[in-house]
Amino acid sequence: MQLQSKLPDFKTSIFTVMSQLAHEENAINLSQGFPNFDPDPHLLDLVDKAMREGFNQYAPMAGIYSLREALAQKCQKQFGVSYDPAHEINITAGATQAIYTALTAFVQTGDEVIIFKPAYDCYEPAILASGGVSVPIQMKGKDYKVDWDEFRTRLTPRTRMVVINTPHNPSGAVFSAADMQELEDSLKDTDILVLSDEVYEHIVFDKNKHVSAAMLPGLKERSLICYSFGKTFHTTGWKMGYCLAPEYLMKEFQKVHEYNVFSVNHPIQKALAAYLKDPGHYLDLGPFFQEKRDYFLKGLEGSSFQWTPSAGTYFQLLDYSAISDEADLEFAKRLTREYKVASIPVSVFNLANEDRKQLRFCFAKTQDTLSRALDILQKL
């Protein structure tokens, strides 16, 4: 049987490759972005309670109203903006499904979608599977800044959407208020949509602030904004997220969502609706992860690695150019096989696989795990 692949050039994700190698080598896995500690027992109790109370059948397509209402209240308090829980919020099977649904709903054959490289690896496959054309723009320097003048030159009559990610994976950079203003100004008087991946919204450090697309009127009116409960509450395996969008966009989003997954985990929605009543469950996330970032970087002092402290997310880039001139993929594999610490090479996310001799390490781990990894990294 002759088959024609929609994604002929896409291979197994680097996350799968490095996590599998870490497993085979019994290495400390700082590659894939998930915590190795448990979520709040209270949240687990709320899920158990919902299951035992009988919330085990299909939830409403858009999600239970109490959860959407809680999210609307959160947006009002956090961003000072209103989203109608009845028509502008949809619960999804993780942020990845929300992103795929948003792209599928709006990208048609020949449409151009701008992405900023290094880009998380779920964007491009969804663009191409929808018949769109990916238009990558490389972020500049080892601290990954957007050249907004270059961005404006890449806008064409065929540009349908721009995908942004802040706080940014894999770099740990955070778009500033000035960056978001540049984006808003650049798209004024166009019909270009924005897909804003904000899954690390609460994980920002030092004096950095998360500036959501929801906070700028010219962006809010054209944006589908995707979030992850898994990243916020240390439950990545639950695959729970949500999307915010104006009603005219949400109607199209839901046409795809309804025939993709229809609805998502009912008892977990009930638990999250109750859990969100206490803002401390997410507002304390920045200090929690900054302590881990600082512990990780302090443990590297005196080593041969170089770095700029991550501004957000739970990832840290380390420059290994003083240690080896190997390609980052080869060095990452050797680090896993010979030294038993797994990381992610950044080149796989860059335009033309540009190699800047940087590896991404996840510090969302217990102190014991980080300590064991640091003992090894210090000796390189």
Q: DSSP character for 325? A: -
Max CA distance (Å), the chain: 59
Say which CATH topology domain 57-281 has: Aspartate Aminotransferase; domain 2 (3.40.640)
How confident is the model over 58-73, as pLDDT tens digits? 999 999 999 999 999 9
pLDDT digit string, tens, across residues 318-363: 999 999 999 999 999 999 999 999 999 999 999 999 999 999 999 9
Gap between the Cα atoms of 370 and 300, Å rounded: 11
Give me the pLDDT at residue 11, please: 82
The pTM of the full predicted model, rounded to 2 decimals, is 0.97
Where does 170-279 have alpha helices with state H? Answer: 177-187, 217-220, 229-233, 247-260, 266-275
Residue 49 burial (CB < 10 Å; 0-12/13-18/19+)? middle
Q: What is the pLDDT along the chain (380 residues), one digit of tens a residue?
A: 888 899 988 888 999 999 999 999 999 999 999 999 999 999 999 999 999 999 999 999 999 999 999 999 999 999 999 999 999 999 999 999 999 999 999 999 999 999 999 999 999 999 999 999 999 999 999 999 999 999 999 999 999 999 999 999 999 999 999 999 999 999 999 999 999 999 999 999 998 999 999 999 999 999 999 999 999 999 999 999 999 999 999 999 999 999 999 999 999 999 999 999 999 999 999 999 999 999 999 999 999 999 999 999 999 999 999 999 999 999 999 999 999 999 999 999 999 999 999 999 999 999 999 999 999 999 99
Domain 14-32+284-377 - what CATH class?
A: alpha beta
Distance CA 375, CA 89 (A): 45
Locate 375 and state its tokens.
Answer: 């003992």
Residues of the chain with CATH 3.40.640.10: 57-281
pLDDT of residue 192: 98
Degrees to nearest 5, angle at CA 246 with 244 and 252: 90
Query: Under a CB-based contact definition with an 8 Å cutoff, are residues 197 and 120 in contact?
Result: yes
Where in the chain are all domains bearing CATH 3.90.1150.10?
A: 14-32+284-377
Provide the pLDDT for residue 1.
Answer: 86
